Amino acid sequence: MTSDWRLFCTVTLPLNALNIINTSSRTLLAVIGPVLAVEFALSGSQLGFLGACMLVAYALAQLPGGVALDRLGPRRVQAALALTTAAGFALFALADSLVGLAVARVIIGLGISAGLVAVIKGNAQWFSPAKVASMTGIAVAMGGLGSVITTVPVEAVLPLIGWRGVSWVLCGLSVASAVWIFLAVPEKPGVARAGASAGDVAVMATIFRSPLFWRYGPAAAMLSSMNFTYLGLWAGPWLRDVAGYEGHARANTLLVYTITMTIGALVVGTASSRAKARGLPPALVIMVCTAGQIAAQVGLALQPSGLGVVVLLWMLFALCAAGAAPGYVTVGQMFPPEQTGRVSTAVNTLTLGFAFVLQAAVGWILDLWPRTAAGGWDPMAYSTALALSVVLQLFIAAQLLRERR
């Protein structure tokens, strides 16, 4: 236990520092998005585009990032990416147009691209297989602090320092993370190897050709992409336009969401490790979380207005989204240990691809309806968007449940 605790403090915690900033980056627009929409006169499609810019860069960096993690180790990769993230936040704070904001979001996306995957890689290197999911669950729960920071605290300081000031704070935290990671995280002997090779490309091709990957990977990815899509951007506008929440009420609901996801990461991570230890089906946790997330979306599409119902539905959504990280671990453990980084980034590539399409699609769907008198979007547009994501998730769940031939 002492050894595990020491490893957690020297491996998981430092690597997870950038993952906390990762979650902050992904949820920041849910709070400052409405402010940016007013200041820069952004349409729904433009706001969706701004959210998707980070996801595109995030997705494009996944495969080379996975190779880098497996060849160089998480310490070097994560420290360098933390400095890249800092540069992105600095540019975001200085931006004076949609183009400037978009370029900055692209750089931030590159910087945070290995956030959780680097933690999974580090845990897989230093912990026993049965403990990887639970340790990763703890890391994800702590990573939820990033989402907590970008709800009520950001809403509270916006009148004082503005969205530019918030960006500068995140810039400073990214620099501090880089220093901590570089100084604290040990190198696994025999891991670091410079340069890429044709063999790395062949390994990635093998992963993407694997029936196991395509059976389990999309389901785990979809849980995470739904969190990207709604907590990352559209949950805030939904709370304003459908539930009628403004300011602190909206931020408080998002705070409850993030707290639920933090607790859910601990619960689901522990459950996943116990399921593995008892020899239960590897996809059991993914299936249960998928069913719960579909139920939450159906409830939200019905446009509830009561405070209790709205909060409970978003809590269910968040709890089930927490199944994504154990899902990554489950898929990764179906492949050789030396491929953990590449498998995780392959799943993350699916996640970001789904999230990019969904974030942009929600914006396009919202623009099909006339804007409301208050300047928001029509509730029926949100319900239509939720119906689309439910159909996609049902299709992916069907692939997960089909029997092997």
Q: Render pLDDT for 359-402 as a digit per residue (tens, 0 to 9).
A: 788 888 998 998 888 778 899 999 999 998 899 889 888 877 76
Tell me, what's the pLDDT at 257? 86
Confidence band for 286, pLDDT divided at 50, 70 and 90:
confident
Alpha helices in 278-339 (DSSP H): 284-301, 307-321, 324-332
Q: Using the predicted structure, report yes or no on whether residue 44 has a pLDDT greater than 50.
A: yes
Confidence band of 403 (pLDDT split at 50, 70, 90) = very low
Q: Please say if the pLDDT value at position 234 is more than 90.
A: no
pLDDT, the chain, mean: 82
Q: What is the pLDDT of residue 81?
A: 92
What one-character DSSP code corresponds to residue 193? -
Q: Say how far apart CA 94 and CA 244 lie, in whole Å.
A: 32
pLDDT at 191: 52
Give the tokens for residue 176.
Answer: 């501090």
- pTM comes to 0.68
Identify which has the larger pLDDT, 32 or 84. Answer: 84
Cα distance between residue 297 and residue 177, in whole Å: 36
What is the mean predicted confidence (pLDDT) over 64-93? 88
Whether 1 has a pLDDT exceeding 90, the answer reads no
Share of the chain above pLDDT 90, in %: 19
Find the range with the poorest average confidence among 119-128, 191-200, 248-257, 314-323. Answer: 191-200
pLDDT score of 197: 54
Q: Is the pLDDT of residue 145 over 70?
A: yes
CA 143, CA 149: separation in Å to the nearest integer? 10
Per residue in 334-369, pLDDT (tens digit) is: 888 777 767 877 887 888 788 878 878 888 899 899
Residue type, 158: L
Q: Which of these, 103, 99, 137, lies nearest to 120 by C-alpha position?
A: 137
Buried b (16+ CB within 10 A) or exposed e, 321-340: bbbbbbbbbbbbbbbeeebb
Per-residue pLDDT at 278 exceeds 70: yes
Short-list 182, 154, 36, CA closest to 105 = 36
110 or 130: whose pLDDT is higher?
110
- Please report which confidence band the pLDDT of residue 2 belongs to, taking 50, 70 and 90 as the band edges: low
Cβ-contact 389, 358 below 8 angstroms: yes
- How sure is the predictor about 404, in pLDDT bands with cuts at 50, 70 and 90? very low
Residue 298's pLDDT band, with cuts at 50, 70 and 90, is very high
List all residues 6 or more positions away from 187 whose beta carbon is below 8 Å from its beta carbon.
73, 75
Q: How far apart are CA 338 and CA 54, in angstroms?
A: 28
Q: Please choose, from the candidates 83, 63, 101, the residue with its C-alpha nearest in 3D space to the C-alpha of residue 17.
A: 83
pLDDT grade, residue 108 (50/70/90)?
very high
Given this model, what pLDDT does residue 190 score?
A: 56
What pLDDT is stored for residue 312 in this prediction?
Answer: 94
* Res 180: pLDDT: 92
1 compared with 126, residue with greater pLDDT: 126
Mean pLDDT for 262-284 is: 76
In this structure, what are the phi and psi dihedrals at residue 104, rounded to the nearest 5 degrees? -65, -40
> Each residue of 294-310: b (16+ CB within 10 Å) or e?
bebbebbbebbeeeeeb
Of 314, 257, 324, the closest CA to residue 288 belongs to 324
Owner of token pair 């899509």: 229
Look at residue 405 in the predicted model and tell me its pLDDT: 41
Domains of the chain: 2-183+199-401 (1.20.1250.20)
The pLDDT of residue 47 is above 50: yes
Q: Which residue has the tokens 């559209």?
A: 234
Give residue 282's pLDDT: 65
Yes or no: say if 363 and 49 are a contact pair by the CB < 8 Å rule: yes
Q: What's the distance, Cα to Cα, between the start and end of the chain in Å?
A: 43
> What's CA 360's distance to the chain center, in Å?
16
The separation between CA 113 and the C-alpha centre of its own chain, rounded to angstroms, equals 10
pLDDT surpassing 80 at residue 206: yes
